[in-house]
Amino acid sequence: MGGLRRLGARLLRVLRPGLGEDDLSREIAAHLALLEDEHRRRGLPPDEARRAARLALGGVERTKELHRAARSIPWLEDTRRDVQHAVRRLTVDRGLATTVVLTIGIAIGAATAVFSVVDAVLLRPLPYREPNRLVVVWEGDDPSRRPQAAPVNYRLLADHNQAFTSLAALAELGATLDAGGGPEKIVGRRVTAGFFDLLGVTPAAGRGFTAADDVPGAPRVVIISHELWRGRFGGDPAILGRNLRLDGERVQVVGIMPARFQFLGAKVELWVPIAMTQEQWTRGSNYLTIVGRLKPDVSVDLARSTIEDLRRRLEPTLPHAADGFRLTPVLLHEDLARDARRPLVLMLGGIAAVLLIGCANVAGLLLARAGVREPEMALRASLGATHGRLLRQLVTESLVLCGLGLAVGLAIARLTLAVLAQLVPPTMVRFAAPAIDGRALAVAAAVSLGCGLLFGVAPALHLAARGLGRGLAGSARVVGSAGARRGALVIAEVALTLVLLVVAGLLVQTVYQLRYANVGYEPSRVLSLRMVLRMEEYRTHAQRTAFYDAVLERVGRLPGVTAAAFTTGVPLAWKGATTGVDIEGRTPPPGVEWDANFRLVSGGYHQALGTPLRRGRYLADTDRVGTPSVVVVNEAMAHQFWPGLDPVGRRMRISDNAYSDWMTVVGVVGDVRQMGLDLPVASELYVPYRQYPGQPWFAPRDLVIRAADPLALVAAVTREIHAVDAGLAVSDARLLDDLLDEEVAARRLGTAVLVGFAAFAALLVVVGIHGIVSYYVVQHTPEIGVRVALGAGSRDIVRLVAGRGLWLAGVGVVLGGVGAVAAARFVRSLLYGVGDDDPATFAVAAAVLVAVSLAASYVPARRAARLDPVTALRR
């Protein structure tokens, strides 16, 4: 009990060391007086008595020291004193302290924010049961584009499964939900009954699907997301058991998923049983996503090879060997994070470089100050401070700096996190929310502590190496050796900054190429809206054509509209369908099937999109049933099937369906990036929908409108559509520009972050070079004085001093060039439209750095040139 009480008392004394000091002096004085009285009583003369009294006490100062040690906690009190001293020093060196704190703060802030994104996306486990055993199985050999699997292959895998404890399949579902507030398009998934069990996630309310739900003809049920439940139904628990209208059918809500549940889709709000018939399970078209849970002792590689064995066994027995049984399992986390991994690693590398540059800069500044402080340290050493004590003082100072930097950094991290959070892939956003949590705090604290120790120890070692005693005789000239170290630090800064500038430069060009240089059409002022015709009501081609014609007629009359057309899908929003093609007069090599992307469009589509015409003519509204069948192809198709020839007037046909009229090519249009901005353009044909009966499920559904002010038209266009069909859900109204922005958003953000890093690094280089050149001037003031006295002009002096900065920058640029080549090679897979060895980028980056260095050294160089030789020589 007493021990605890005493600890409290001692801690109090650490904070208020002066408390009780007066009392103690008085007490000791009284003690001495009493002793003195006693000695005098024994007959000693007054002087002797006083001496004897002090002897008996054992020294006044020593007694006080003993008292202090007992009443307080000496090392803690020393630390407190060090901190106080450090803060006092920093308020004196306010400029330096601000620079250091901001440098460290920005670097730590950015590092913390980047780390928390990396943590959320790459490091933290996925929110499923034993997530590292979950795999997705894609069709074919290349899972990078996530090709979906055919039902027949899912059945085969499930029937012969050896590697998985369970398997489930999902199909996409774009449904129109009517919960009373008008039709609304909603993204859902059709899933096999075991899907939620496989993930190990149960609905937060209600039940999951049972095998009885997953049968054709079973009563229709739906499980909704927490987000839909809150957003659309106000979080009303009575929703369970209620019926909704989904695509016009009544379905009963049986479950609500937990908040933030998400699996492989961006905005999936509901799930229904897939309930496919036996016949549907034997189909070969690819629309299923397969997910599996690996058996405990099975690795994903082993699963891959068992599937390969299975393929070899099964293939001879399969009816259509053309598609074949080819499936590739990928770990779920790997699949989700695939597109984000490299950019995030790049960003980590970038921030590491910034941290290093920041550290080099701060170390340089503190080394310079260590030089300036040599006399102070020497004085303290001669007054009895030990080396350890001085080292502690220096480390404390830098820890105080880093502590302040940490505080600034956490504020910055908090501010930038919302922006960086956009780097989380859309398929992970609901659960992988980056946060400044304990882990991020630990990283930030560890980094700042590391910096603090480093910065404190470096100048201390510098002082120790120089020998404290000699410092007292110090003048500016004595502190020379710090200069060489700072030179090395600045060279390192320049080199790392060049690497950052080159990488950032390459990425900026990539974004520009993707977004502007290469899309193949004129995306500005083009609006697109989506509407999906209900199959039951638009069963015949005539019904559909009547709808499209009526809408186009009405929309075309709206003011400001220059072109309007329907298409099965605008570029990027819908990646497109492919179809087999026959080319008249040519046969494909054996074993090859010719195919091409395939779009049904109305006349005017290319005008609305702004696709350039290369040969022949565009499609027209006059291309309808009864006129000769025509088709327009893109340049890639012209090159693939009619190399060196003019395709206009030649014929081809679609070989997949019943439709097999020969179609005459009437025009060639420019290539359009449909599938992805960084994917090569495939052969593509545009068929007039009026001439192509097709299938109800492959009918045009996107309306594109080119107009002077397209966004102002949304309401009017929707009104016109509803005038034709009041029950049709109109969704996804947006500008093609926005669609493109969205497509490059993550890249653009990642690039912007790296550009920010590079700019910050360049700023640090300015500070670093300015500092070292100023220091050079101080150090060489007498020499400069001599030169001026001997007749050197101010231009000579500027050249001399700025040359020093330029020399450091030059060495840095050369070293950095080597690093930049390696870094550019590392980011090659992220580049598009620019080579990783692009000489212009390297040249510009180097030029920027040299210019920046020149500017930074010019100011101190001017100052040197204006030195008065008389004063300079006297120093």
Partner 1 sequence: MKTSGEGPARGEAPSPDLLPGTLDLIVLRTLTVLGPQHAYGIAARIEQVAEGALRLNQGTLYPALVRLEQKGWIKGAWKTTENNREAKYYAVTKAGSRALAEEAAWWQRSASLVNRLLTHEGE
Minimum Å gap between C-beta 452 and partner 1 is: 33
Structure-block tokens of residue 726: 């009041």
| Dihedral sign (CA 357, 358, 363, 366) | positive
| Alpha-carbon gap, residue 107 to 357, rounded angstroms | 9
Whether residue 483 contacts residue 776, with contact meaning beta carbons closer than 8 Å, is answered with yes
Residue 98, phi then psi, degrees to nearest 5: -60, -45
Q: Which amino acid is at 804?
A: R
Which of 25, 37, 252, 662 is in the footprint of partner 1 by CB under 8 A? Answer: 37
For residues 49 to 68, the per-residue mask of contacts with partner 1, x marking binding by CB under 8 A and - elsewhere, is: -------xxxx--xx--xx-
| Alpha-carbon gap, residue 767 to 401, rounded angstroms | 18
Which of 15, 19, 30, 851 is in the footprint of partner 1 by CB under 8 A? Answer: 30
Q: Which amino acid is at 159?
A: D
**Cβ-based nearer residue to partner 1, 63 or 794:** 63
Q: Which amino acid is at 315?
A: E
**Cβ-based nearer residue to partner 1, 10 or 326:** 10
| Dihedral sign (CA 673, 679, 683, 686) | negative
Beta-strand runs (E) in 107-163: 134-139
Minimum Å gap between C-beta 392 and partner 1 is: 24
Tell me: does residue 550 bind partner 1 (CB under 8 A): no
Minimum Å gap between C-beta 39 and partner 1 is: 12
| Alpha-carbon gap, residue 807 to 810, rounded angstroms | 5
Minimum Å gap between C-beta 31 and partner 1 is: 5
H/E element holding 755? helix 736-779
Tell me: does residue 76 bind partner 1 (CB under 8 A): no
Minimum Å gap between C-beta 497 and partner 1 is: 57
Minimum Å gap between C-beta 12 and partner 1 is: 9
**Cβ-based nearer residue to partner 1, 3 or 316:** 3
Residues 154 to 183: which contact partner 1 by CB under 8 A? none
Helix, strand counts (H, E) of the chain: 25, 21
Minimum Å gap between C-beta 3 and partner 1 is: 7
Residues 809 to 868: which contact partner 1 by CB under 8 A? none
| Alpha-carbon gap, residue 753 to 749, rounded angstroms | 6
Which of 19, 34, 415, 473 is in the footprint of partner 1 by CB under 8 A? Answer: 34
Residues 360 to 379: which contact partner 1 by CB under 8 A? none
**Radius of gyration (Cα) for the chain, nearest Å?**
38
Beta strand 327-331 with 630-634: parallel, antiparallel or unpaired? unpaired
**Cβ-based nearer residue to partner 1, 71 or 650:** 71
Q: What contacts 603, CB < 8 A, 6 or more positions away?
A: 565, 618, 619, 620, 621, 622, 623, 688
Q: Can you give the length of the chain in residues?
A: 875
**Cβ-based nearer residue to partner 1, 12 or 546:** 12
Q: Per CB under 8 A, which region of 33-41, 75-83, 101-109, 464-472 contacts partner 1? A: 33-41
| Alpha-carbon gap, residue 603 to 556, rounded angstroms | 13
Which of 10, 146, 311, 799 is in the footprint of partner 1 by CB under 8 A? Answer: 10
Tell me: does residue 75 bind partner 1 (CB under 8 A): no
Which of 69, 542, 645, 679 is in the footprint of partner 1 by CB under 8 A? Answer: 69
Minimum Å gap between C-beta 116 and partner 1 is: 45
- Secondary structure of 509-534 as H, E, C letters: HHHHHHHHHCCCCCCCCEEEEEECCC
| Alpha-carbon gap, residue 490 to 364, rounded angstroms | 8
**Cβ-based nearer residue to partner 1, 5 or 88:** 5
**Cβ-based nearer residue to partner 1, 36 or 635:** 36
**Cβ-based nearer residue to partner 1, 59 or 727:** 59
Binding site for partner 1 (CB under 8 A): 1-3, 5-6, 9-10, 23-24, 26-28, 30-31, 33-35, 37-38, 56-59, 62-63, 66-67, 69-71
